[in-house]
A and B are shown apart, each in its own frame.
Chain A
Amino acid sequence: DAEITQSPRHKITETGRQVTLACHQTWNHNNMFWYRQDLGHGLRLIHYSYGVQDTNKGEVSDGYSVSRSNTEDLPLTLESAASSQTSVYFCASSVDRNTDTQYFGPGTRLTVL
């Protein structure tokens, strides 16, 4: 079955380290998204991509970057991890950007010490 996976599921890192969270989908969706989930804020959009070589900033993009070299993967990189980036990160994908039914991965819980 087609699916969307994230790895690792849990990560503990130290302040200042570079961290990369993986997202892989086998639906062949053009559109992929990264969100962070924090108490009281719901989901906030970090970055998104509407196809290979396309990346766009969301509302909370500072300190994060993404690259899209193929359809299946959208890795999220924290250039220099900060304690404020401790959160649960969700990747999502969709086939139709207009009607936007997004399908979510299981999430990565990141702790920055």
Chain B
Amino acid sequence: AQSVAQPEDQVNVAEGNPLTVKCTYSVSGNPYLFWYVQYPNRGLQFLLKYITGDNLVKGSYGFEAEFNKSQTSFHLKKPSALVSDSALYFCAVRDSRDSSYKLIFGSGTRLLVRP
């Protein structure tokens, strides 16, 4: 069965410092991986995805993520955090062998960037 884990409920970082939000996954086939961000009282916004190809994926707002097959991870990164990056971040995965095409979401990680 496919699953995704976000091991940190909250990540705290100072503005200007690099940030990392962790995500690991488990699938039987090839993973299709996604990051979404949710601001207060808003729906989820798509940030980036990995389907195939280059392991380093660049997305919106200066975010990037690195696909690591051996560690089954897809960590979200940004070189220099902004206070406005404070939000709830969700990792999601789909198994290429899953004929239902369903996305499985992690439980979310709250990012707090302090001035």
Shortest Cβ gap from A113 to chain B (Å): 21
Cβ of A16 < 8 Å from any Cβ of B?
A: no
Q: Which residues of chain A have C-beta atoms less than 8 A from B32's C-beta?
A: 99-100
* B34 and A100 contacting across the interface, CB-CB below 8 Å: yes
A97, B51: Cα distance in complex, Å: 13
| 8 Å CB interface, A95-113 against B | 97-107
B4: nearest residue on chain A (CB-CB)? A42
Interface contact tally, CB-CB below 8 A: 50
Kindly supply a per-residue 1/0 record for chain A positions 20-42, scoring 1 wherever the CB is within 8 Å of any chain B CB and 0 otherwise.
Answer: 00000000000101010000111
A44, B106: Cα distance in complex, Å: 9
**A104: contacting residue among B43, B100, B107, CB under 8 A:** B43
Q: Which residues of chain B have C-beta atoms less than 8 A from A105's C-beta?
A: 43
Cβ of B101 < 8 Å from any Cβ of A?
A: yes
* B49 and A56 contacting across the interface, CB-CB below 8 Å: no
**B103: contacting residue among A50, A56, A102, A107, CB under 8 A:** A102
A43, B108: Cα distance in complex, Å: 9
Kindly supply a per-residue 1/0 record for chain B positions 31-59, scoring 1 wherever the CB is within 8 Å of any chain A CB and 0 otherwise.
Answer: 01010100001111110010100000000
**A43: contacting residue among B45, B51, B105, CB under 8 A:** B105
Shortest Cβ gap from A105 to chain B (Å): 5
**A42: contacting residue among B41, B45, B94, B106, CB under 8 A:** B106
Q: List 27 A-B contacts (CB under 8 A).
A: A33-B103, A35-B105, A40-B107, A41-B107, A42-B90, A42-B106, A42-B107, A43-B44, A43-B105, A44-B105, A45-B103, A48-B102, A50-B101, A58-B102, A90-B44, A92-B44, A99-B51, A100-B32, A100-B101, A100-B103, A101-B34, A102-B46, A104-B44, A104-B45, A106-B42, A107-B41, A107-B43
| With A42-B108, A104-B43 already in contact, 20 other A-B pairs whose C-beta atoms are closer than 8 Å | A40-B107, A42-B107, A43-B105, A45-B103, A48-B102, A58-B102, A97-B101, A98-B101, A99-B32, A100-B34, A100-B94, A100-B101, A100-B103, A101-B34, A101-B46, A102-B103, A103-B46, A104-B45, A106-B43, A107-B42
* Chain A residues within CB distance 8 Å of chain B: 31, 33, 35, 40-45, 48, 50, 56, 58, 90, 92, 97-107
